[in-house]
Amino acid sequence: GGAGRPGVGTVVKAKPKTKKPSMYRVLLLNDDYTPMEFVVHVLERFFNKSREAATEIMLHVHHRGVGVCGIYTYEIAETKVSQVIDFARRHQHPLQCTMEKE
């Protein structure tokens, strides 16, 4: 705007082009068969939880049906979900894990 008129125009501000990545919750689902101790181990091994934190999350899932293990960028969350499902399958437990956008 204001072509050729000194002092009339659009102020263009430099836009910082770094974006915060979308984050995803990784969820553990309850079932009737996976041993509690196995779920605690999964939380320690794949989500870097202390035994106390892992036990708390496991009991939350056991009572409420679903619980958050951690929040990650898409690729990390996807990898955690695959690792948990593979590990559970290898041990013949039906434990299920999924992810959802935050």
Written as one letter, the residue type at 25 is R
- Of residues 55, 62, 76, 83, which one binds ligand TYC by CB under 6 A? 62
For 33, list phi and psi in degrees, rounded to 5.
Answer: -115, -35
- 4 or 32: CB nearest ligand TYC: 32
What span, in angstroms and rounded, lies between the C-alpha atoms of 65 and 10? Answer: 55
Nearest distance in Å: CB 76, ligand TYC: 20
- 29 or 53: CB nearest ligand TYC: 29
User: How many residues of this chain interact with ligand TYC, rule: CB under 6 A?
Assistant: 13
30 binds ligand TYC (CB under 6 A): yes
Nearest distance in Å: CB 79, ligand TYC: 19
For 56, list phi and psi in degrees, rounded to 5.
Answer: -65, -45
95 binds ligand TYC (CB under 6 A): yes
**24 CB-side CA count, 13 A:** 15
**21 CB-side CA count, 13 A:** 9
Judged by the rule CB under 6 A, the positions of this chain that interact with ligand TYC are 28-32, 34-36, 39, 58, 61-62, 95
